[in-house]
Structure 1
Amino acid sequence: MTDFDVRPITDDERRSTFDLLRRALHVPRVTGEVWARVGESWPAARKFGAFEGGTPIGIVSSFDTELAVPGGRVVPAAAVEGVGVRADRTRRGVLSAMMAAQLAEFAARGVPLAVLHASEPTIYGRFGYGSAALGKTVRVTRPAARLHERVPAAGEVRMLTPEEAVREIPALYRRIGLHRPGMIARPPRWWPISHDRHVGPDGDHLVAVHSGPDGDDGFVVYATISHRSPESPDRGAVLDVHDLHGADPAARAALWRFLLSVDLVSAVHARHRPVDEPLAVLLTDHRHAGTLAVEDDLWLRPVDVAAALAARTYRAAGPVVVAVTDRLLPANTGHYEVGPDGARRTDAAADLALDVDALGMLYLGQWTATALAEAGRLEVRDAGAVARADELFTTVTAPWCGTHF
């Protein structure tokens, strides 16, 4: 067993832990010039490192954000990012120690929820995270794909310069708002490394904005990937959608109309779109829109179960009492009554029982209690409670994050 200490990092350790993370993710170290541009997006705050002496061997990071939950409320959340362990120190308890320290810090600050995107899905369940939202990868073939004649064609789309894209899109994202469960706010530190480097003067992505009756209400960030070859010199490019958001269905349809109108394109490809996005229905021939994959997107962990359950709303059904077990944050372990009037702790007997990671799967409405019970992730103590829980936790709109971090 390796001897190591887990503690918050200092300002002087920002660059070394950033380099450690990139090596753990098999990405080259950044140059001094690049670090000068992106270093402010890697602050020491909210980071725990594992150290052997003064040498970092592991890092976990997070930033404070807000998360939209069912019912329309936006609540504080911690977005976990930048997790890595040096290749020669894995499977020695380093990650477990860092994640435990991070969760304890979240709990001490009163953060009700934590979220992440998982590079490896088998890792995070043991720390109480559950797969809470899915995303689909779609591909629309061109030039055959056409929007149906009844799809509204209002407003206009304009291309932005790189300077405009850096300057205008953050405010537009805030204007569009967190209108789906699972969407998160993008704090100032998110933009330089996750947006500006793609769309700025040194980036290779393009940006288009839709304007409706009330002004700008949607945007798309995409890259052009050439598929030409000596054997197929006339083959069209693929537009790879990186980020697409609109304030309403009309704005989103207009952005898809724009993408499908670009000349010399053979396909439009987009990953991690909402599973209920009606792209195929927009087309005259839905077969031109194919779903290539459905994957886990956002993972969620209730940090304060009582506060998390009280933050969202529930549909009309008889209440259920849920027994929650949380091995890492034992203060959460207990019984909770959930009903159309809200949620609270109770001493009543439990109708259903589950671990905190399964509660994370249930929380945003992606998975039903029936599905979790059939998978053995939820223990049924009252058979009638399953249908009530299905109705209580169901959401009309599928959860979706739409932000990479």
Structure 2
Amino acid sequence: MSGSVPGQVNPPSRLLMGPGPITADPRVLRAMSAPLVGQFDPWMTATMTEVMGLYREVFKTANEQTFLVDGTSRAGIEAALVSLIEPGDRVLVPVFGRFGHLLVEIAERCGAEVHTVEAPWGEVVEPEVVEHAVRRVRPKVLAVVQGDTSTTMCQPLADLGEICRAHDVLFYCDATASLGGNVFETDLWGLDVATAGLQKCLAGPSGSSPITISDKAAAVINARKHVEAGIRADDDIDHGARIASNYLDLAQVMDYWGPRRLNHHTEATTMLYGARECARLLVEEGMDGAVARHELHGRAMLEGVRGLGLGVFGDVAHKMHNVVAVEIPESLGAEGGDKARAAMLDDFGIEIGTSFGPLHGKVWRIGTMGFNARKDTVLVTLAALEQVLRGCGVPLTAGGGVGAAREVYAS
């Protein structure tokens, strides 16, 4: 079969100001161009150990079991849930956006008896609602999203950790969209497992999922360890219901990252380099500094869209630092909102996001995260949005967006 050979990959220049993925930090991309080494090369295993230490700093934890799951952030979510949950286990999920529904679906696929407590989109779930449900359901696992980009809400976690401790419940958190840009305290809040991704506040590409696991959760997972024929050590014996996935079996992955480096899969070397650089840059900046940076530029974007006369969706007091949901002007409607997004991309090379479910066609989602949590990206995006909306006939305050953002920076 003959045909022309495609040219080299040559993507257009884009400023990714949506809810993720975002523009990767050039230092991360440079790290990912480094030469490959063998997975058991002493340099490689030492680098894996460095990665574990760096992500302990990022997650703010002393957990020995802190490493990477090879795959996008959803691989980390599935690894956590499939390794914690046995068929028939009760799982409680607070749902306040699309990604809470994702946790429900994955837990159901694990054979769990899933219960939910829900808040309207644009709000978070109050701790007393969760505590009442915990008392009623008596779950094995409480699974919650910290920052749900579909609504831009950030669920408070400290009280939920206290509830889990009081009722002996395993506490899992999906921090994909929030880690690095919002306060996250694994040990202080009593989290047992937390997972994330690189493509948001960590300033990298998707493809690697950092995870941290408490000793308590690791014991639960290891109690389900099973023999992989011809590979596992003789003292690894069956204890409980077999973990349904091989690739996402955290009992085996923990052994792979542990001192024995028991073979499980071939580490995604290039992603390891990128994940290491993502964490190194955050630790160099300081986690508190990174959160403050995201708060500053997120606040400038928030006040900027308000300065244009646009509404903001949801309870702003519980908004994530790194993304804002901007109400599409009624005069545009859903179709006009899509045309405005297309104009941002075509005329300015700037990508902003739409949303899902009940918010589809009603809001744009604009992110200020990772490498794009900067003054210049905020001001350029606001200036471009003003010009696009003017072209669509939306009445605006001239220079109102950039002016309001500049006031935030000046103060």
Shorter chain as denominator, the TM-score bin is under 0.3
Higher normalized strand content (fraction of residues): 1
Structure number with the higher helix fraction is: 2
Q: TM-score, normalised by structure 2?
A: 0.27
TM-score (norm 1): 0.27
